[in-house]
Structure 1
Amino acid sequence: MTAVLNRLTADDDLFLKLHDLYGNALVNQLAWRFDESLDPAVLERFHAHLAHGFLARRVMTTSVPFARPWWVSAAVSEPLAYQEEPVDENGVLDWLFAQSRVEFDPITGRVWRLSAAPTTTGGTLLSLVTSHVSSDGGAVLYAVGDALRRLDAGDTPDIATSSGRLVGAIPATGLLRAHLTDALGRLRAAALSLRAAFVARDITEPERNPRPEEPRRLLPDTYSAADLVVEVDAAEWNSIATAHDGTANGLMVGVAVGILGRSGRIGDGSSVRVDIPHSMRGLDDPRANATTGLPISVPYRKGEHTDLRQVRTAVKQAARAYADPATTPALQHLQPIQQMLPRFVLGYFSRTAKAPECLCTNLGETGQSVATLAGVRASSVLMRPLLCTGETELFRRLEIGLNLSWSSDGHTVTLAITGADPDRFPTRTALRDHVTDELEAWGLRPRFWA
């Protein structure tokens, strides 16, 4: 009998290879702000449920050529990091960013860390940082939601009865046959992907703008991307979007394009490539990463608002195109071949690889499903990608631009914004100036986290 293994997807594989090249350059963060104090013992129990759940996974490899690595449950995890010293209100963003300083290892299963600290106002900050190798945003929310439910129910931490049951295990028999079957399947998939890519050879994606070489600031050798969290009344946000014949999602895209323009990253009349993550996660989906990206092209006109009607049309068209293999770009069809490439080959291609020019993630109200911990409801829930401190020249070479994550609890819109171009967003203050100008130009009144 052939064992059924939870194989790494093409996205898992890509993130794993990028981890080998760049280490923990990119992590995801789910963060909570509580106005009340949380009992450290409760946090320890929450941590124990996470350690037996969907996030607790490690990569297993095989020597069978072309057979994919697979996931099994991890027996180890980073311990709960509880800081005794209270965090001042003006240090919240710095504390949250500091939680990105962690060394993950997908092979051992150290791929997430839960951290907490009291605040000087009597509340609690809580951060869950995760490796993108082992989980996308949907996987994190699923794992946390399951852990919170089990915590409320008083369940004993257990892999077999929690979301951890989906991760996988080392089978007692049939492992070699499973690898040989997968290797043959990969070869067939590679052949089919070449045929599909040839058919789709004339289908193109929106192009990104090259990063302007000037001005080039005199900066230190290392750089921390400028990050902000800003809140806006949801009613105000929705009203402005409607007034411009757009959606809440479209207004996020419009704001992002405007910030890029104000920073000088793009020129007047340019068309910006905006990548919009779209979840493909299903019920009891065992995949670590189950997200695709919808690329759209958005024109920028200096001194004008982004056309939100055009954004809405572009998003719909991109969603239709990516739902049909016949209109999917050739590169997307080649993922089976990408997984077969050795890491040194990916390292060669990575020399010219570029990061997204503009990434806009709409989380909707999904964060509210994990807002309550042991009966205490968070005043704010935040999810965002975190770009860790790295070499300034690496940020320039990868041409990283602007990341926005949008979420709402129905009353307040929370935007997590990261400007990662060292010469356009050298400091948090510089980013804040551009964000303030853009939001106020739309008639929005921002409230910034300190």
Structure 2
Amino acid sequence: MTAVLNRLTADDDLFLKLHDLYGNALVNQLAWRFDEPLDPAVLQRFHAHLAHGFLSRRVMTTAVPFARPWWVAAAEAEPLAYQDRPVPEDGVLDWFFAQSRVEFDPVSGRMWRLSAAPTGSGGTLLSLVTSHVSSDGGAVLYAVGDALRRLDADETPDIATSSGRLVGSSSVNVPLRTHLADALGQLRAAAASLRTAYASRDVTEPERNPRPAEPRRLLGDRYTAADLVVEVDAAEWNSVAEAHDGTANGLLVGVAVGIAGRSGRVADGAAVRVDIPHSMRGVDDPRANATTGLPIAVLYRKGEHTDLRGVRTAIKQAARAYADPATTPALQHLQPVQQMLPRFVLGYFSRTAKAPECLCTNLGETGQGVATLAGVRARSVLMRPVVCTGETELFRRLEIGLNLSWSSDGETVTLAITGADPDRFPTRAALREYVLDEFESWGLRPRFWS
């Protein structure tokens, strides 16, 4: 009988190869702020459930050409990092960012870290940083939700009865015929993808704006992206969106485009490419990454609000287009070919690869499903991509732009904003000024985490 393996998807494979090229340049972070203290023993039990759950996976490879790597349960994990020294209220953002400084290893399975610290006001900060190789946002929320439920039920950490059962067999002894069959299947998929890509060769998607060469600031060799966390009353956010004939999601995009324009990243009259992640995750879905991106073009006009009705229409059109292979761009069909490329070939192409110009992630109220830990409810929960400190010239070459992540608990909207262009967002203070001006223009009153 042929073994059924949880093979890496094309997205998993791409993130794995990018990890080899750039290390932990980009990680995801789920962050909690509690007003009450959390018992370290409870956090240890929570960590144990995570260590036996959906995040606990490592990569296995085979020497059979074109056969895909596969996931097995990880035998080890980064230990809980608990800091005894209280974090001052004006150091919360810096503490959260500091948790991203961790070296992950897809081979050993050390691809997530849980950290906690008390605050000066008697609360607790909790951070879960994860590698994009092993999990997208949906996978993290699923793994954490399962761990919290098992913690509340006082169950024993166990792979077989938790979300860890979906990861795959822990056996490394896979019959050769299994890999040969997968290699043949990949060759067939690649051939089919080439035919489909050729058929859709005339389908286009929004182009990104090149990064302006000037001004070029005198900066050091290393750069840390500017990051902010902003809160707004949900009623206020929704009221402003409705007043401009838009949705909460449309206002997220509108604000992002306005900030990009104010920074000088895009010119007056330019069509900004905005990428919107869209989850494809199903019930008991074993995939580490199950997200696609919907690209739309949004016009920026200096001194004017973004057309929210136009944003809503563009998102609907992009969703319909990507649901039909005939209207999906050719490059999207070539994932089986991309997965067969060796790392050195991807490294060659990565010299001209570009990061998203503007990325807008709407998590809705999904974070509320993981807001309560052992009966203690967090004041705030957010998920965000963290762009780690790196070479300044690498940021310029990749042309990383602006990332926004939106979530709400029904009462408060929480926005994580990251500006990663060294010459437009050299400091957190510079980003804050653009955000203040943009929010004020919409009539929004932001409250900043310090």
Are 1:365 and 2:365 counterparts?
A: yes
Amino acid in the other structure paired with 2:88: D
SS, match of residue 62 in structure 2: coil
Alpha-carbon distance in structure 2 between the residues aligned to 1:232 and 1:79: 35
Alpha-carbon distance in structure 1 between the residues aligned to 2:423 and 2:11: 30
Shift of 1:74: 0.1
Alpha-carbon distance in structure 2 between the residues aligned to 1:48 and 1:373: 14
SS, match of residue 315 in structure 2: helix
CA contact (8 A) 1:21 1:347 kept: yes
Amino acid in the other structure paired with 1:416: A
| TM-score between both structures, scaled by the size of structure 2 | 0.99
CA contact (8 A) 2:30 2:127 kept: yes
Q: Which range moved further: 40-49 or 165-174?
A: 165-174
1:125-150 deviation per Cα after TM superposition (whole angstroms, max 9, x unaligned): 00000000000000000000000000
CA contact (8 A) 1:2 1:174 kept: no
Aligned match of 1:291: 291
Alpha-carbon distance in structure 1 between the residues aligned to 2:272 and 2:101: 31
1:25-84 deviation per Cα after TM superposition (whole angstroms, max 9, x unaligned): 000000000000000000000000000000000000000110000000001000000000
CA contact (8 A) 1:3 1:173 kept: no
Which residues in structure 2 correspond to 1:271-286 (within 5 Å)?
271-286=271-286
1:4-33 deviation per Cα after TM superposition (whole angstroms, max 9, x unaligned): 000000000000000000000000000000
CA contact (8 A) 2:250 2:312 kept: yes
Aligned match of 1:39: 39
Alpha-carbon distance in structure 2 between the residues aligned to 1:366 and 1:263: 31
Amino acid in the other structure paired with 1:43: L
SS, match of residue 294 in structure 1: strand
Distance 1:80 1:442, change over 3 A: same
Aligned match of 1:78: 78
1:100-149 deviation per Cα after TM superposition (whole angstroms, max 9, x unaligned): 00000001000000000000000000000000000000000000000000
Which residues in structure 2 correspond to 1:56-95 (within 5 Å)?
56-95=56-95
CA contact (8 A) 2:72 2:171 kept: no
SS, match of residue 53 in structure 1: coil
Aligned match of 2:238: 238
Amino acid in the other structure paired with 2:443: G
Amino acid in the other structure paired with 1:231: E
Amino acid in the other structure paired with 1:41: A
Are 1:164 and 2:152 counterparts?
A: no
Which residues in structure 2 correspond to 1:169-184 (within 5 Å)?
169-171=169-171, 175-184=175-184
Aligned match of 2:330: 330
Aligned match of 1:16: 16
CA contact (8 A) 1:74 1:109 kept: yes
Shift of 1:172: 7.7
Aligned match of 1:394: 394
Which residues in structure 2 correspond to 1:143-154 (within 5 Å)?
143-154=143-154
Shift of 1:170: 4.2
Aligned match of 2:374: 374
Alpha-carbon distance in structure 2 between the residues aligned to 1:137 and 1:173: 31
Are 1:425 and 2:435 counterparts?
A: no
Aligned match of 1:317: 317
Identical columns (%): 86
Alpha-carbon distance in structure 2 between the residues aligned to 1:174 and 1:37: 47
Alpha-carbon distance in structure 1 between the residues aligned to 2:150 and 2:335: 37
Shift of 1:177: 1.6
Aligned match of 1:263: 263
Aligned match of 2:441: 441
Alpha-carbon distance in structure 2 between the residues aligned to 1:414 and 1:316: 24
Are 1:48 and 2:48 counterparts?
A: yes
SS, match of residue 348 in structure 1: helix
Amino acid in the other structure paired with 1:230: V
Aligned match of 2:136: 136
Alpha-carbon distance in structure 1 between the residues aligned to 2:401 and 2:231: 22
Amino acid in the other structure paired with 1:34: F
Shift of 1:169: 1.4
Alpha-carbon distance in structure 1 between the residues aligned to 2:175 and 2:439: 56
**Equivalences, count:** 450
Alpha-carbon distance in structure 2 between the residues aligned to 1:20 and 1:204: 30
- Provide structure 2 residue ranges, at least 5 long, that are not aligned to the other structure: none
SS, match of residue 363 in structure 2: strand
CA contact (8 A) 1:407 1:413 kept: yes
SS, match of residue 274 in structure 2: strand
CA contact (8 A) 2:209 2:273 kept: yes
Distance 1:132 1:174, change over 3 A: closer
Alpha-carbon distance in structure 2 between the residues aligned to 1:177 and 1:377: 50
Alpha-carbon distance in structure 1 between the residues aligned to 2:6 and 2:245: 44
Alpha-carbon distance in structure 2 between the residues aligned to 1:147 and 1:288: 17
Give every structure 1 segment of 4 or more consecutive aligned residues whose post-TM-superposition deviation is greater than 4 Å: 170-174
SS, match of residue 364 in structure 1: coil
Aligned match of 2:407: 407
CA contact (8 A) 1:3 1:171 kept: no
Amino acid in the other structure paired with 2:259: I
